[in-house]
Amino acid sequence: MAILDILEFPDPRLRNKADPVTQVDERIQTLVADMLETMYNAPGIGLAATQVNTHKQVVVIDISEDKDQPLVLINPQIDILPDEEKEYEEGCLSVPGFYETVTRPTHIHVNALNKQGERFELEAEGLLAVCIQHEIDHLNGRLFIDYLSPIKRQRIRKKLEKQHKQQA
């Protein structure tokens, strides 16, 4: 297992669109194990392969208190149940140090492959639904800060660019 480097905004590679996984083989299982280790180490509650510069449709999530309930979504398909929307304070390992309110649909239905490559379905609401939508956005090259005003996004960009220069 390995802890992977996480890309940070405004890295243009975060805008890549992930390709579907054609076969859930040993390489994908290693990626999943490394992503889980990277997420738990951060610590975070969700990570998309895009964030570790692998442009395949793989997401890991664990919103449990004890960090013992990993959820793996491969090739996730999402259906929005458009009855209700809710605000949530979101953050992102690729936008460290920034938390902002985003409005998203409350209820979703997800169809995905697990890490054994078996198809399963899931209905989600609350934090899990927010997290799944946030991570699937990553696979489509979208970040939670894209839902903010251009002025807010620009301010975050400048602050992170400055930090990256100081680290270099």
Looking at the annotation, which residues are catalytic?
Answer: 135
Distance CA 12, CA 8 (A): 9
Helix and strand totals (H; E) in the chain: 3, 5
| CB-CB contact of 117 with 161 (8 Å) | no
Give φ, ψ of 155 to 5 degrees: -65, -40
Sketch the per residue contact string, 65 through 104, with ligand QAP: x for CB under 6 A, - otherwise. -----------------------x-xxxx--xx-------
The reply on whether position 139 binds Co ion by CB under 5 A is no
Site for Co ion in 84-103 (CB under 5 A): 92
Q: Residue 166 CB, nearest distance to ligand QAP (Å)?
A: 16
What's the one-letter identity of residue 18? Answer: A
The reply on whether position 42 binds ligand QAP by CB under 6 A is yes
Distance CA 59, CA 56 (A): 9
Quick one: what does residue 10 bind among Co ion, ligand QAP, none, with the CB cut-off 5 to 8 Å set by partner type?
Answer: none
Quick one: what does residue 136 bind among Co ion, ligand QAP, none, with the CB cut-off 5 to 8 Å set by partner type?
Answer: none
List interacting residues with ligand QAP (CB under 6 A).
42, 44-46, 88, 90-93, 96-97, 130-131, 134
